[in-house]
Amino acid sequence: MQIQTPEWVKHAVFYQIFPDRFVISQQPRQRLLKNSTWEDWSAPPTLQGYKGGDLWGVIEKLDYLRNLGINAIYFTPIFQSTSNHRYHTHDYYQIDPLLGGNKAFQELLDAAHQHEIKVVLDGVFNHASRGFFFFSDILENGPHSPWVDWFKIQGWPLSAYNGEFPANYEGWDGNRALPVFNHENPDVREYIMEVAEHWVKVGIDGWRLDVPFEITAAGFWQEFRDRVKAVNPEAYIVGEVWADSRQWLDGTQFDGVMNYLFAGPTIAFTAGDRVVLDYVRTPSYEPYPPLFAPDYAAKIQALLDLYPWEIQLTQLNLLASHDTARLISIANGDRTSVELATLLLLTFPGAASIYYGDEVGLPGANDPDSRRGFPPEANWDQELLNYHRQLIGLRHTYPALRIGTYRILHAQGTIYVFARTLGEEELLIAVNIGTEPEQVNLKIADLGLNSLPTKQLFGTAQLELEPANPPADLVIKLAARSGCILGQ
């Protein structure tokens, strides 16, 4: 079969937003809580506290995002819930009133689309919450509830809050706050399908699916894809799967997954022995032990060989998320590690994803610390922000960086060089992760390029041509821990 994926995703630079922590609207708006005492914005986040970010605030930040080069947003859950992260869904048809409700979301969706920014929502369809109406009915009416078969009830009575007694129902990861749906029940299945269709009809541009590997009902994700794509063939369906995802990326289910198989090796290569192991052991996507260029090249080539090219172009590539510590903290505060990893991210095929605040140097250890409030401008790392803006701009300027072939040319010691090629557009990217200056001599005849990229588009490498001994050499001299992009 011919695999079809959304065209726009191949050209997308996503910005992942945790809504409670991104921005509070500065404009007078209709609010559920007008004078609420939120957690202090700059204080360390807690597991259960709210800081009061809202969707109207995101509208006010759209110009900032466009200036950065962002053209897609992935929101962690925004449906009504009683948790700051909103993975405890109460109502799949209501945007959380604390975020501004359905009215604020419609305004945001319209404004984002006017800014040519796509919007992808987080679909938590494996489990709901104790506050979900159907489960609440079971708590009230026990075996007489018409919704008993919607969940995995194991006995009576249910104990939803008292840990001294068995829950008597399955909760996700043993958590009785998160009752797991019975996806074998056709009514449950139909309900989830209708929710997915509804929001695509409202205008969202896709779904990011939380723990989709937990849903094993036969044909579930195939039907999900068919019904979502029937509403909008260009809707993006991306799964949260951290490992080898071939069983979901056969063209009948997801368009891509959150590409932790890219993140792990890239961090291990660029941050090396700076990685703070306590931040990456749980959950682990193996950004350790340190990698040198040959091992990194082997892992990247294996990743590129894992999926069809059409799928590679719609993977969601990332370096950090709400489920991980932030990269600058993983790298023990080393900004250069962030820069080098970002260079590799924004020159890799597939959609790139920036976790809110990473572009301005926001630190954060493991959850909940990685979910801090977005800092005021006075606390931004402006150099890092400009670094991101430059690279994103180049990615938008050169189609080869988005959909061109990816070919590793050199991987020895601390030097990694690859080419991105699309027709006559040919770019070279070279990275030195070492603490000493290095140079690489590339035989022009062996590069397989139609012309020699000697125009420096990014970075400060020194280039020399040595034509005396044919075939001529292209010499790239790289400072310690630096990288460059070369074009024609």
- Taking only the tens place, the pLDDT of each residue in 249-259 is 999 999 999 99
Question: Residue 450 has what pLDDT?
Answer: 85
- The two tokens of residue 335 are 């900004």
**What is this structure's pTM?**
0.97
Q: Which amino acid appears at position 220 of this protein?
A: F
Question: Residue 34 has what pLDDT?
Answer: 65
User: Class of 404-487 per CATH?
Assistant: mainly beta
Measured CA to CA, the distance from residue 403 to residue 406 in angstroms comes to 9
8-126+181-397 and 404-487: identical CATH topology: no
pLDDT tens-digit readout, 143-199: 999 999 999 999 999 999 999 999 999 999 999 999 999 999 999 999 999 999 999
Question: Residue 283 has what pLDDT?
Answer: 75
For the annotated catalytic residues, the residue numbers are: 210, 240
Question: Residue 311 has what pLDDT?
Answer: 98
Give the helix/strand (H/E) hosting 195.
Answer: helix 186-202
Long-range pairs, 294-300, Cβ under 8 A, ≥24: 294/411, 294/412, 295/265, 296/265, 296/266, 296/268, 296/269, 296/411, 296/416, 297/408, 297/411, 297/416, 299/265, 300/262, 300/265, 300/408
Q: What DSSP designation does 363 have?
A: -
- Residues with pLDDT less than 50, the chain: none
CB 256 within 8 A of CB 351: yes
- CATH tag, 8-126+181-397: 3.20.20.80
- The length of the chain is 488
Q: Is 407 helix (H, G, I), strand (E, B) or coil?
A: strand
Distances (CA, A) of 299 to 46, 86, 168, 274, 286: 36, 35, 44, 20, 12
Chain centroid offset of residue 231 CA: 24
Strand order in the sheet with 462-466: 438-443, 473-478, 462-466
- The two tokens of residue 295 are 């091992």
Question: Residue 228 has what pLDDT?
Answer: 98
Among 93, 169, 105, 103, smallest CA distance to 132 is for 93
Parallel, antiparallel, or unpaired for β 118-123 and 89-95? unpaired
For the chain, domain boundaries:
8-126+181-397, 404-487
Instruction: Name the burial class of residue 201, with classes exposed (0-12), middle (13-18) and buried (19+) by CB atoms within 10 angstroms of its CB.
Output: exposed
Distances (CA, A) of 276 to 78, 180, 186, 330: 32, 34, 46, 5
User: Residue 190, Cβ neighbours under 10 Å: how many?
Assistant: 12
